[in-house]
Amino acid sequence: MRLLLAILLMFCGVLSLSAQKVKTVTGDYTYHVPESQTIEQAKATALERARIQALASAFGTIVSQTNITNISTTGTVEVDFQTIGMSEVKGEWLEDTDAPVYDISFVDGMFTIYVSVKGKARELVSSTSECVAHVLCNGKSHKHESDRFIAGDQIYLMFQSTTNGFLAVYLSDGTGTVSCLLPYPSQTDASFPIKGNRSYLLFDSTVGDEYIEEYCLTASRETENNIIYIIFSPRKFTKALDSQTEGELLPRELPENEFHKWLTKCRRRDPEMQIIRKFVTITNR
């Protein structure tokens, strides 16, 4: 009986892997840059939309009453980006296989960015959990949610999941370095345990936990565009090979290319891992 059970479990595992087959996808997008955006911000927007277009073409989209997508019978998917985001496509981007190629032009008084992408992706499976995250600036309620900070502003993160699981939070500063915000610098665990249906306010020292640290965002340039990676899974996952900054008790760091290699490996092993990306802009006064 034990042998039969083991064979059945192995067979189910094979089916799961088959459903999670990784494939190479390509896409492109032309973005007309509004005056309110910097070129760096616009490149990030164009890149995200090119990836969405590639995923939509390869795997299709989730159509609901509030998200409108135009799909022709010829197989071409035209995505309305005012109503669709990464959460509405049926695939997920794992990694770039080629560096994105940009072409920036200035036509009729407006910048236009064309970007083409090629990478590894897989079809999404139904997740056993739902989670939400909100980045807060200088406050601890929903009304303080923001993606714009001034150097010295305090950052908080609200997080909630429908199931128990594990959480990690990393920040990419756009200069090739990624910092681990959670687990906290004084912790050695790979991830932070989360209880389902409980709302967490992270980076708040008033909670009283001995491990908690608070963070203020800084910028080494006039304007910085950072990405916050919020990583959640019902399963424990391995720790990134980061290292403690010498001198002060600062967040552990690792090179951005090593971070993405680690994250790709984790996602390949764990189909239920969810990644929420939050883009934040930090300016010096």
pLDDT tens readout for residues 113-171: 999 999 998 887 656 678 999 999 999 999 999 999 999 999 999 999 999 999 999 99
Instruction: Report the C-alpha gap between 95 and 123 in whole angstroms.
Output: 14
Instruction: Report the C-alpha gap between 157 and 135 in whole angstroms.
Output: 5
Which range in 167-171, 172-176, 222-226 is most confidently predicted, on average pLDDT?
167-171
pLDDT of the residue at 88: 65
Region class of 169: left (phi > 0), else alpha (psi between -120 and 50), else beta: beta
66-70, 106-110, 190-194: least confident range: 66-70
Work out the number of other CB atoms within 10 angstroms of the CB of residue 285: 6
User: What is residue 131's three-state secondary structure?
Assistant: strand
List C-alpha distances in Å: 115 to 46, 128, 155, 173: 7, 34, 32, 22
User: What is residue 47's three-state secondary structure?
Assistant: helix
Instruction: Identify the band that residue 213 occupies on the pLDDT scale cut at 50, 70 and 90.
Output: confident
pTM value > 0.85: no
Q: What is the pLDDT of residues 9-40, one digit of tens each?
A: 333 443 343 445 888 999 999 998 888 788 88
Select the CATH number that applies to the domain covering 131-283 from these four: 3.40.1130, 1.25.40, 3.30.420, 2.60.40: 2.60.40
**Cβ contact 194:234 at 8 Å:** no
Asked if omega into 183 is within 30° of 0 (cis), the reply is yes
Which range in 125-129, 235-239, 244-248 is most confidently predicted, on average pLDDT?
235-239
